[in-house]
Amino acid sequence: MLFNTCRRLAQKLVGRDKSCTLKGDRKQQREAKKKSRQLDQALRADWKNESSRIKLLLLGPGEAGKSTLIKQMQLIHGNDMEAAEKLKKIPYIRQNIFDSMVAVLVAMHSMGIKFSNPRLTRTAHIVLSHSQVENSSLTSKDILNSEYLASDDMISHVQALWNDNGVHKAYARSNEYQLLDCAAYFFDRLDDIRHPNYIPTEQDILRCRVMTTSITETKFTVTYSGQKVNFNTVDVGGQQGERRKWITLFDDVTAVIFMLDTSSFDQTLREDSTTNRLLESLKVFYQTITTRFLRSVSILTFMNKIDIFREKIEQGSNFGASLDKMMEQALSLSKDPTISSDFERGIYQKIYTILSENPFTTYNPTENERKHVLESFSTFAAQEEKVDGNHNSLSTFYTSSSSLFSKKIPSRRQKKKLIPDLDWRVVKSAAYIKTILAKIVECVRMSTRYSFQSTPDMSINTGYRSYEFHYTCAVDTLNIKRVIDGCKNIIIKDYFAKIGIPLD
């Protein structure tokens, strides 16, 4: 009897312990479920934020101006750099100056150009003694951090050399070797840059060249029709060795901004001294629009550096002769056995065919094409005009009040003032580049297994994607703002339409 009583008491005690244990487990489970719900909510919120962000991908060959465009977007959307951040750019600006002068000096030697002042031979030797030309073990980082680069002596040496007529003769032939576009700009600003209290201007920062070897993301927000729209712009290096990274960025892309350098028609690649830069741009453009991962993605093509392009044509560069050489090279590469890819050889063959079937000598731009070129150059004309009593240029006409897309339309008389007097050769050459790009688009449409609605000007939404062509100058903030504002309008409308929110 006592044994049975003790057993029942023991069972009750054990039951209570189990009950306590079960209660403890249930409490832990409730806490775990609560944490899980919170985590799920956070993940859904993150997904919603990312899915509502418009992803722009910047593609194009090296030195086309992609990184400069990123800097412009940061400036346009109010991300002003602090003075301390600007000061960090000084070593890179000095390196641009040093590298540019080294390139000119090496070119002078190979071209057999002599100094007007023979005493400068010693100065040139001093500059070269701190470069990789005479010190192959030096790296670019070593030069960037060197005492010579930071010294006033470097600026004095470069300034003395830049004042020499022989150096200017070599500079005038810069299309024959690799020279940074910013060379003359910084050479002319040496007095300001050597000043102890020098702080780089926005234009200095825009023109400073730093090769992109990594993936850079820039985020900004705009307001459209009362809704906040988030943009995420992704920049990646365009050199041949960097393009293998492109495929990792193709997911969830809303639009591609493809940039090419219009002024590169008479230059070769930095990484390949035999291949024409403009030909390389056309090839990369063809590859971009045929990439299966981007079939439903709109392509916004920025034909960049039109300021340098105009200067070259007006100073006598023969665009037609350069095209003839480029066409010959395209034909040669289409048969080159060292190119293992049949697809790549096929691209060169198609480019050759397009160029040969649309010869520049007989090309005559239409009225719309001529108007497009003139209106694109009007930004520069506006900077030289005193409009409405001030020098605010296109900001007089393109204002951002409640919306970034609000525009004050200029009168007909004001519009006429904004249209610049351009050399006919500039108009024809610029329009021809756009025509060739449009012909490539047409060629891809004809060869693809998808069906698209044909449009004559190649700039309207055609089935699965839109194509836009714009002439740009990446170092000109007003020009870029005008182009970007117009592109954002199209991108946002396409984006909302894709997620089921059509906008009128």
The CA-atom distances, in angstroms, between 264 and each of 65, 136, 284 are: 12, 29, 14
For the CA atoms of 304, 307, 310, 314, the dihedral, rounded to the nearest 10 degrees, stands at: -150
Annotated active-site residue in 74, 132, 159, 239: 239
**Is 239 marked active-site?**
yes
CA distance 481 to 394: 10
Helix boundaries (H) for 208-296: 277-290
**Is 274 marked active-site?**
no
Annotated active-site residue in 204, 235, 242, 369: 235
Helix boundaries (H) for 335-476: 342-357, 367-384, 412-418, 424-447
3-state helix, strand, coil in the chain (%, to 5): 60, 10, 30
**Is 139 marked active-site?**
no
Residues whose CB falls within 8 Å of the CB of residue 45, separated by 6 or more in sequence, listed in order? none
CA distance 75 to 81: 8
**Is 50 marked active-site?**
no
CA distance 496 to 299: 17
Closest CA to 94 of 11, 179, 204, 14: 204
**Is 240 marked active-site?**
no
Tokens 């044509």 sit on residue: 313
CA distance 418 to 398: 13
Residues whose CB falls within 8 Å of the CB of residue 304, separated by 6 or more in sequence, listed in order? 64, 65, 69, 259, 260, 261, 262, 472, 473, 474
Tokens 């639009």 sit on residue: 255
The residues that are catalytic are 63, 68, 209, 235, 239
